[in-house]
Amino acid sequence: MSHLSSVPERNRDRRPRERLAGSTGWERAGDRTVTVKHFCLMEELALEISTATNEDGLFEALARASMRLGFDHFALAYDRRGNAEPASLLVHNYPDAWAKVYVGFDLGGADPVRRAGERSMTGFRWDEIESYIPLTRSDRQMLHVGREYGLADGYTVPRHLPGEASGACSFVLRPQSELQDDMLRIAEIIGALAIVSARQLVGAVPLKSKATLSERQRECVLWTARGKTAAEVAVILGIGEVTVVQHLKTARDRYDVHCGQMLTLCALFDGLIGFGDVYDWWHAR
């Protein structure tokens, strides 16, 4: 607004022959075809991204990739949070004037592209942002100002690791340029690889011993996260209310937190309970 193991050269011709047969290309999706040429381009760009050994190398690889995919600019942002020391990586070739405005006015927190990325599991076009989040008047103004600075349209690939990190890689067009739909599948893969490379350059969150809860304590935390009171949890689990209260207190002590909300967050981010365990239960009612 950094690496994966590459495919060895000698193995590159081991793709399924039946998919390469004929003039229709490698794989058909709707009325469009991912051609052999596109597949080879994807392999080449993936190799460059995944073998970048430092920030400068990642910048150069992304600059080449964005140009070959038909884009004018790119931006890769990665933020490490969680138990480790916070760290971030930002590489981009956005116009300097826009970068100064973005940083100077601290627009990151309000950026509609970033917020849309938090609601998407895959890459998305900027003209589809409103299908992910409601756009406020300020959001529209920010997108309009961005266009005035030369960032007219784009495709953003988000990735999130709850409790550890988040990242996004955007490929952007100048005004009057057109998004090439047949390159978006490649942009999805390249953007994801760039985020992985950034994570390796910054360093993953080191493993840390987590709080250990008994199965009954975990059940109490789960039903509390679903909005049940201690009395209701006791009926559901067939145990005493005092026992439920004690289980929840023990769980809070093991996480060293002092309220139920923080206990729920810790359990979610540790994977002790899943977001789906809570969300799906509510929507199934």
| Full-model pTM | 0.68
Indicate where the chain has its CATH 1.10.10.10 domain(s). 215-283
Counting residues of the chain whose pLDDT is more than 90, the rounded percentage is 61
Q: What is the pLDDT of residues 10-52, one digit of tens each?
A: 333 433 333 333 333 444 444 455 578 888 999 999 999 999 9
Q: What is the pLDDT of residues 233-244, one digit of tens each?
A: 999 999 999 999
CATH architecture of 215-283: Orthogonal Bundle (1.10)
Q: Where are the alpha helices (DSSP H) in the chain?
A: 17-20, 36-50, 55-68, 96-104, 112-117, 137-148, 184-202, 215-225, 230-237, 241-255, 260-270, 275-283
Q: What is the pLDDT of residues 108-118, one digit of tens each?
A: 889 999 999 99
Q: What is the pLDDT of residues 88-106, one digit of tens each?
A: 999 999 999 999 999 888 8
Gap between the Cα atoms of 122 and 118, Å rounded:
10
- How many Å is the maximal CA-CA distance in the chain? 71
Nearest of 187, 162, 181 to residue 68 by alpha carbon: 187
Highest mean pLDDT out of 127-131, 177-181, 265-269: 127-131
Predicted local confidence at residue 210, as pLDDT: 65
9-202: which CATH topology?
Beta-Lactamase (3.30.450)
Indicate where the chain has its CATH 3.30.450.80 domain(s). 9-202
Six token digits for residue 196: 């992985």
- Can you name the residues that pair with 73 across neighbouring β-strands? 172
- Can you name the residues that pair with 157 across neighbouring β-strands? 169
Q: How far is CA 121 from CA 22, 84, 125, 145, in A?
A: 33, 25, 13, 27
DSSP 14: -
pLDDT at 85 exceeding the cut of 80: no
Six token digits for residue 54: 């430092």
Mean pLDDT score of the chain, rounded to an integer?
84
Predicted local confidence at residue 94, as pLDDT: 97
What's the mean pLDDT in 166-183? 94
pLDDT band at 283 (very low <50, low <70, confident <90, very high): low
What's the mean pLDDT in 199-218? 80
